[in-house]
Amino acid sequence: MRMKTSQKIDNYMYYIEQAPSQEDLSIKVKFSYMRAYAIKAAKTLASDDSQFIDISLSREHLWRDSYQQLREIPANDWVLKQFRISFEGEEGSDYGGVTREWLSRMAKQVFNQDRAFFSSTLNHQLQPSPLSALQINSSALYHFLGQLLAKALISELNFEVEFSEVFIKHLLHKQLYMTDLNSLDQQLAQNLQYVLHNDVSALGLFFQYEIQVLDQYLTVDLLPGGGDIPVEESNKKLYVKKVAELLMASNMQYQIKAFKAGFLSLIPEEAFRFISQKDMMIKLTGILTIDLEDMQRNTTYGSYLPSDQVILWFWQYLHSVDNRQRANLLFFITGTYPPNNP
């Protein structure tokens, strides 16, 4: 007797949840659990037994057509049904390749900074742009983008985009810390640390912060009447907290809220219980296998020599660990993961 799909999912989820060391689960297993959880949740709302959603698009108006045709589809259908993409005027059946092409083209269009949906951090990572609030229906568009990302994860399609760690933490409902500011602006993070650990009386700071909008700088009050509130020893911790909140949350809170609502409409938050922000960043960028020989040829050692014992131990260790741990090391050193492209 063939086991029902729902029973298979239950058995798999039970196995994962009872694993003795969940921290050691591979990324593949973690995201398999995520997909199983999303599918199980969607099946309780399934509207019919059809397996496909046929979508015909114009290459010339790819973004517009995709948004108009997909925005009304129920969330459970996004999860349970396979998209069959076709392009107007082109013959052929979609066995997965056309859908991958569509998703890749959508990602390149949507995450192009010229569209003002996303902006780049100093580490060349993407997060929602405050300028997007100027666009009509921006909340609905971000909701749709959140669904698009969730669909890619469920369908095991490579999105090939590198979001900032701060944005990923928001999506996964992870706690943000002052140290996370380093991933957005390392120099600013150092300046705020200076404020915390030194006398600020001579710095002339007020509860205001300048943000760049296009080619202009706008002054934002961190507190009501912030231009009249000097930063002093007694309130400098509050000043640092307000600057960090502005840059990591409040200046993109509406965009994050809409994106996250779309994202979680397909994948419940509980499905990410084993997934860290670094797991998600690795998954989205589609990291290549790291070539240790090439890495070794292009590494400089400062005051050390390649023959020094500590250097030999370093390379011996890297050869002994898996690709994910090597990628985490590169992230620690550079602040970014190596993308899956030449």
Pinpoint the residues of the chain covered by CATH 3.30.2160.10.
178-248
* Residue, of 303 and 134, whose pLDDT is higher: 303
Strands (E), the chain: 52-57, 82-87, 118-120, 126-128, 208-213, 216-221
Task: Give the integer Cα–Cα distance in Å for 310 and 304.
Answer: 9
Highest mean pLDDT among 114-118, 178-182, 191-195, 288-292: 191-195
Task: Give the integer Cα–Cα distance in Å for 3 and 38.
Answer: 19
Pinpoint the residues of the chain covered by CATH 3.90.1750.10.
5-174+252-285
pLDDT at 2: 47
pLDDT one-digit tens code per residue, 154-200: 988 877 788 999 999 999 999 999 889 988 888 999 999 999 999 99
Q: How many CA atoms lie within 13 A of 84 on its CB side?
A: 10
- 5-174+252-285 carries CATH number 3.90.1750.10: yes
pLDDT at 5: 59
Task: Give the integer Cα–Cα distance in Å for 47 and 45.
Answer: 6
pLDDT at 72 over 90: no
pLDDT at 134: 67
Task: Give the integer Cα–Cα distance in Å for 103 and 287.
Answer: 18
pLDDT at 43: 85
* Residue, of 272 and 99, whose pLDDT is higher: 272
* Residue, of 48 and 304, whose pLDDT is higher: 304
Confidence of residue 331 (pLDDT cuts 50, 70, 90): low
* Residue, of 52 and 109, whose pLDDT is higher: 52
Highest mean pLDDT among 11-25, 80-94, 233-247, 324-338: 233-247
pLDDT one-digit tens code per residue, 145-154: 999 999 999 9
Confidence of residue 13 (pLDDT cuts 50, 70, 90): confident
CATH of domain 178-248: 3.30.2160.10
pLDDT one-digit tens code per residue, 34-44: 999 999 899 87
Q: What percent of the chain has pLDDT over 70?
A: 86
* Residue, of 236 and 329, whose pLDDT is higher: 236
User: Average of pLDDT values for 322-333?
Assistant: 69
CB distance 125 to 165 below 8 Å = yes
Q: What percent of the chain has pLDDT over 90?
A: 39
In the predicted model, what is the mean pLDDT of the chain?
Answer: 84
pLDDT at 65 over 50: yes
* Residue, of 242 and 288, whose pLDDT is higher: 242
